[in-house]
Chains A and B, each alone.
Chain A
Amino acid sequence: MSAVLSLRQVSKVYGTGNAAVHALRQVDLTVGAGELVAIMGPSGSGKSSLLTIAGSLEEPTDGAARICGDDVSTMSADARARMRRRSIGFVFQDLNLLAGLSAVENVALPLELDGIGARAARAAGLRVLEELGLAERAAHFPDDLSGGERQRVAIARAVVGDRRLLLADEPTGALDSANGEAVMRMLRAACRRGIAGVLVTHDAQLASWADRVVFLRDGRVVDQTAPSVGPGTLLAGDVTP
């Protein structure tokens, strides 16, 4: 399993002196292709800082962040932006879909920004929407879609093209449990196809979709779950005649 994301002894400090806030402290994290890792922790534990560094939106104060093998700190701002467009997909609770663009135009946008022709980008966008069961909604605008559909469009946009890393921050937002489950099935399926996924959440049910759950507290990784175990004899012993 090749590492798509690798954080080594990453620390992040905002502000200086007495006002310094240590958001992350010596965090080590490796996520391989095909793996879905959940980062779980309460508010203020450093989850969002970790995600912005994993997405090269910010640089660590200390330590090294490597994405697809490249050390982010040695890359120019242009190279970093290019890598973000090509290799990293983001899904946020606040979806950031553009209201003036149809579903397929929203999905195709990152490809077009990356210089791919409009027609090819649209075709790729349609393919992903089809995979997510949204082909017939492709021409609709975000305001005409349900919450669950909008979330699926955001996921389509995050996995379109040749993305290697998928970063999701509370991706099921305010969805009900059925729609939330559908969203998690999609994220998991994207990872099964070879994308490395990082899911940030405080919700244990969401985190339980991951192959591995890493617990963050006060900016430190304090614990993680064992690698996935089969269902075995779940519930055995709970039966009473």
Chain B
Amino acid sequence: MSIRHALLALLTEGTKYGLQLRQEFEARTGEVWPLNVGQVYTTLQRLEREGHVASDETGRDGAQRRFRITADGQRELDRWLRTPPDATPPPRDELVIKVQVAVRMPGVDVREILQVHRRRLVEEMQRYTHLKAEADPDDIALGLVVDAELFRLESVVRWLDAADARLRRRPAPAAGAAPNEQTRPAGPAAEPAGSAPAREQARR
């Protein structure tokens, strides 16, 4: 998420105080992107240095200064809106590596590993969905942000499901080979889902 461009966008509506910019940024991202004061003001300073914003008063701290967007800033914003987002691979790729490693390791129940990640992802989806469910259905800003995360997480779950199906179909290992794909017994269901490792998983 680019704070700089979000701040520039807010300034297209008119001049605003630093404090006001921070409050509006949070409100429009459904208050799920908490910002600290420092982030807003250092970004504003940088934008000012680059000539994208200007402020009339100097000498005061960022919260109490009024900022406006410059013609340069407007051009930068237009350019950004039309630039494809950074296509750096998402964290899922680390998951792909983990699963590939697990497939090659003897004695590892790969499908159990898949399930650990599936559960963690679904728990995260539950948190987003509950946030959406409790919110005002007309809160468009929150709905957009939450849906984006839900679709992203869902795509990873679907990849896990596809991987699971692929593993089911693969030929059974030769006799004597390490059984790394046994069906997990019912026992682990009793394992508390909120256990320490599960919570660790939930923190990225």
A interface residue numbers (CB < 8 A to B):
25-26, 28, 40, 42, 177, 185, 188, 202-205, 207-210, 213, 215, 217-218, 220-241
Residues of B within 8 A of A215 (CB): 115, 118-119
* Interface flag for B150 (CB, 8 Å): yes
Pick the residue among A207, A224, A235 that contacts B33 (CB under 8 A).
A235
Among residues of A, the one whose C-beta sits closest to the C-beta of B193 is: A226
Q: Is the CB of A204 within 8 A of B39?
A: no
The residue that A213 contacts in the complex, of B33, B126, B149, B183, with Cβ under 8 A, is B126
Query: Please, which residues of chain B bring their CB within 8 A of the CB of A235?
Result: 32-33, 145, 149
Picked from A222, A224, A237, the residue with its CB within 8 Å of the CB of B184 is: A222
Residues of chain B contacted by A28 (CB below 8 angstroms): 189
Task: Decide if A240 touches B32 in the complex (CB within 8 Å).
Answer: no
Contact between A208 and B4 (Cβ–Cβ < 8 Å)? no
Q: Are B127 and A205 in contact (CB under 8 A)?
A: no
Taking CB atoms and an 8 Å cut-off, the chain B residues in 60-96 that contact chain A are none
Chain A residues contacting B1 (CB-CB under 8 Å) are 238-240
- Say whether B122 faces chain A, with CB atoms less than 8 Å apart: yes
User: Residues of A contacting B126 with CB < 8 Å?
Assistant: 208, 210, 213, 225, 228-229
| B189–A223 CB distance below 8 A | yes
> Could you tell me the distance between the alpha carbons of A159 and B157 in the complex, rounded to whole angstroms?
31
B59 cross-chain contacts in A, Cβ below 8 A: none
A-chain residues with CB within 8 Å of residue B128 when the two chains form the complex: 208, 231, 234
Known A215-B119, A224-B193, A225-B193; 6 more pairs at CB < 8 Å: A205-B150, A218-B183, A222-B186, A229-B123, A233-B34, A236-B33
Q: How far is the CA of A100 from the CA of B150 in the complex (A)?
A: 39
Contact A241 B183 (CB under 8 A): no
Report the bound CA distance from A11 to B183 in whole Å. Answer: 17
A223→B128 CA distance, assembly (Å): 20
Partner among B33, B115, B133, B158 whose Cβ is within 8 Å of the Cβ of A204:
B158
Q: Could you say which residues of chain B place their CB within 8 Å of the CB of A207?
A: 122, 125
Are B33 and A239 in contact (CB-based, < 8 A)?
A: yes
B115-A223 in contact (CB<8A):
yes
Interchain nearest-CB distance for A177 vs B (Å): 8
Q: Which residues of A contact B151 (CB under 8 A)?
A: 205
For window 155-170 of B, CB contacts with A under 8 Å fall at 157-158, 161, 164-165
**Contact partners of A42 in chain B: CB under 8 A:** 161, 164-165
Is A208 in contact with B194, judged by CB distance below 8 angstroms?
Answer: no
